[in-house]
Amino acid sequence: MTIKLKPLKDQVMVITGASSGIGLATALAAAEKGARLVLAARNEQALQEIAQEINDKGGQAIAVGADVGRQQDIQRIADAALSHFGGFDTWVNDAGVSVYGRLLEVSDEDNRRLFDTNFWGLVYGSQMAAMHLRNRGGAIINIGSVLSDIGITMQGMYSASKHAVKGFTDSLRMELEEEGAPISVTLIKPSAINTPYPDHAKNYTSHKLTLPPPVYEPEEVANAILHAATHQKRDVMVGGGGKLMSLTNKIAPGLMDLANEKLMTDQQLLDEPAQHREGTLHQPGEGGRIHGRIKDTMPTSLYTRTVTNPLVAGAVVAAAGAAALALMGKKRKENGTNRYKQSNTRPEMVEVVEIVEEVHVTSLPPQRPL
């Protein structure tokens, strides 16, 4: 089966969840590269403003107010793409919601609403896209998570929804390949990303919410999505931190469970009182904002740049390996000097991830966009 994906400048792209965060970052990046856009989200006013901003700069975008958990709204999105642009070439299922709370505390109503958006919205969008693209070819890009590979405390049902997304996406890919459909199906698995996600989540705790480190910027996910729109990729993990967690879970799941039990709950809660605890689970929230409130972030991911740009992979891996070995040697020396010295630094493996991720900033020439 030969799959030919168009350059972005020749594409019509549908993006759900386009009013904020990863979806908005992807929309703006795609517009800069000349793609025509169909933007969908519940916050139609924010979408209209975003579409107008793109059009004012010479791009082409339309806004469709839609709740992806409603199959008829997915049909409206597709109809809008057909009527305005004659169809579409890439469909990005990005819409998502979350709940922070223990599994025995979260209500069935909230859990079902989460699955309506995260799973069924993605299923409806993928089915619609597959039916449309069977004859013309194109790409379906589903946004999963590092939590498609592991589960964590406090976001148990979100983890379950992203596991379901992975299972569905993998099965859809195989079925389309089996029938010879010219459709690329990619699962993007972001690590923790600095978007308004914690502010938008429904909060069952008494604390303000955050994300566990390392945290990456949403533009890195947008780059991976646009890469998948023009290159056939099975899946892409965004962030070496997420890849490390996924690998550890496969190799030593008991160790990963123990680490999560000891660290993960505290890493998701701030020592500040909760605000706006209802979030955007059942109603549209603030739109127009790409970034969250986390200040200590990693602007790019060396790991992701490597797997999406094989030309620099060898140099990157060599430099990253040297940096990691140097760091671990330094740690061993420090531990030999004072084994019981207390420190406020993050765990050694997280530091290794950060050093490995950052090597390309000083050791490699500037890379082309993904």
Known catalytic residues are: 158
Instruction: Decide: 275 and 224 in contact? Cβ < 8 Å.
Output: no
Of how many residues is the chain composed? Answer: 370
Strand-strand pairing, 202-203 and 99-100: parallel
Grouping H, G, I as helix, E, B as strand and the rest as coil, residue 260 is: helix
Transcribe 93-120 into DSSP letters. Answer: E-----EEB-TTTS-HHHHHHHHIIIII
- Alpha helices, DSSP H only, in the chain? 21-32, 44-56, 71-85, 108-115, 121-136, 156-178, 197-200, 218-230, 240-251, 253-259, 265-267, 302-307, 313-337, 348-363
Count the Cβ atoms, other than its own, within 10 Å of residue 1. 11
Both tokens of residue 116?
């309506």
Which of 20, 35, 26, 369 lies closest to 221, judged by CA? Answer: 26
Beta-bridge mates of residue 40:
16, 64
Q: What are the phi and psi torsion angles at 21 (to 5°)?
A: 55, -140
